[in-house]
Amino acid sequence: MSSNNAQKKPALGKGLGALLSNASTDITSKNNEGTDVVNSIALIPVADIEANPFNPRNKFDEEALEELKSSIQQHGIIQPLTVRKMGRGKYQLISGERRFRASQLAGLTEVPAYIRIANDQTMLEMALVENIQREDLNAIEVALSYQRLIEECDLTQEQLSQKVAKSRASITNHLRLLKLPVEIQLGVIENKISMGHARALVSAGTEEEQIRIYNQIVEDKLSVRDVERLVNDKPETGKEIEIKSAPEKKGALSTHEFSFKNHFADKLSSKVDIKKASNGSGKIVINFSSESDLSRIIELLNK
């Protein structure tokens, strides 16, 4: 089984890195002589590991699991799991459930893992922070993880911002999505609408108006800019308005470019501007608030 030195990727983010270096939750494992070794990896029997009851994600794409299983069969587990020692030779997953499930499908009897001692609240916090760093989560899953960190780990938005290395504006924008009707939240989860659509719907007025506009988005395949114009026009309740293409101004962004700008801003958790000249040339401007914020953005762009 290949471990490739099995170092944790820096992409896990500042929040999880801070937790992993906390003296109260030091990583420990055993070498061949049975001695504790900090920051090393142990091979643990799959049968001795149980799933993490705090994992916010409980649905896994079967096709993606099969692809990961094939990769593990060919290359082994590149990134070790992180587990909590439970006593009597048993362990509980803190992070890496997809890898664990794929390992079971691949028929592995042992998996590499960092071993940690952590109380339940620390474990929940670590699982949620790890979860938020994933790139395949939809906006509602991220928002629910933010909400659980705030409520169950007693964090302020400012503390949460520091732990997950996201701006307070990004956290607030995600949390506002949880105020939308369940039907619209499911639309985001099922990829019927984007986070940009959902953000625009938050300002659409009553729940009935939000659902009416949501149905119009799905039926007419409206862009985010279309929805923003529709919401700002505030039609009478129960009436739909026709979306007409506005005349293009010199240097104005197309709908595709506008959507890209919003998507890029959400990905970087920072304000992004696209400035175009009449001849088609221009520049993309990414705003940052401090040296550490710049370092965070550079790290995201290098992924």
Count of other CB atoms within 10 angstroms of residue 181: 14
Q: Are 290 and 303 in contact, with CB atoms under 8 Å apart?
A: no
End-to-end alpha-carbon separation of the chain, Å? 26
Evaluate whether 231 touches 200 at the Cβ level (below 8 Å).
yes
Cβ-contact 222, 243 below 8 angstroms: yes
Three-state secondary structure call for residue 205: coil
- The residues facing 282 across adjacent strands are 276
DSSP sequence for 61-99: -HHHHHHHHHHHHHH--SS-EEEEEEETTEEEEEE-HHH
Residues catalogued as catalytic: 97
Q: Are 140 and 189 in contact (CB under 8 A)?
A: yes
Residue of 75, 121, 125, 66 whose CA lies nearest to 98: 66
Query: Beta strand 272-276 with 282-286: parallel, antiparallel or unpaired?
Result: antiparallel
Among 136, 139, 134, 162, CA closest to 149: 162
Beta bridge partners of 110: 45
* E strand map for 120-239: none
Residues 124 and 19: beta-carbon distance below 8 Å: no
